[in-house]
Structure 1
């Protein structure tokens, strides 16, 4: 598995080097999005965070959204691109299962996207203001686990209906209010059952840690972790069912 992840990382780096203009423009666009989120979130959603925590909350929000967006959209986009290029059949006839290939690509995507986010934070000069703590990072990781399950689900839909761009955009950009606003902290604090909602629980706990909000507890973290594992398992199992259905239809290579 580690060899697959390394090969996917190498593939991503080679693609970035092969298309320098696209890589540069993508970096500039992501930097612009970071500034837009940093200055637009307060205007759109408001914040009651202390001034010394704003930078950390902004980075956590941006990091969580970017990584979850990549996980949700990556697998479906990869399968659509493989189908358009006529190479999707090779993923099914190789010695490795499609699930392992997609999982390796997800891990590699998280590493690449996380590195890009770290570079952006370093470039804008906010690294010294960031005060991340382990419980906050672990809570964000639970959101990534849920996103990976959603990514498998959307990948299965892509195998069946072929074009899922609108659905993927709806899912990824629909995450923005949950990821960017600090309201999730109040939600889980007022109604503990909100911990069961995808992304709301993990991001709410991550920000509760940073804000020192009483909504954070190891019990709440354990509940959210169990729920995130369930969401991942559901997405993984549904992808397996839809993969089998697509194979039985004989439409894997159709686009």
Structure 2
């Protein structure tokens, strides 16, 4: 039974030039860290981007959170201790007070067309919702982008961030950890996302995905634009249950 719909954020609920956003974030935060730690700005920028890459490796063996992994990488590569409360507060201040003003014509972040109606359609059916954005950033940074997308008042039961995750997409542990937190099984949830690599758990864990990006991935339960999602939700539900029934039949035959 479908109990919840979980959404990706960037290019799903939020229309954004994500590459430009990451470039601004990495440049300004690494410059801030270089100033605080009295380090070379170029070497700190290299350390910062390498730490981001460390976090975004889907396959890795760790028990710590993504935040702890990122902080340790910055300390190892750049010599700055992000767990120091003073430094942590400086970064949080930047992400809460300065970063929201960086939304310029290049980043161009705004609500995705159809996103509000999609959320309304899901909630009107009594389904639960969560925001399963790739947790490459801290909570304050994610909340900044949620603000740009007018998502801060949406009743998401969970928003994945660096602080509350141990993996990133498409690692299945990222998804199972989030669904465990919600008390849900993969078979009870529909993922909505635009990324043909990240928004499908790899390997498959039985989590269906409505794809709102370009193309028609074979694993997608439904493909279309975000602005078509709400008006197509009856069809999406039907496809969800048909695929769930087919998966059950396949499982029984294998047994």
TM-score, scaled to structure 1: 0.25
Structure holding more helix per residue: 1
TM-score, scaled to structure 2: 0.25
Structure holding more strand per residue: 2
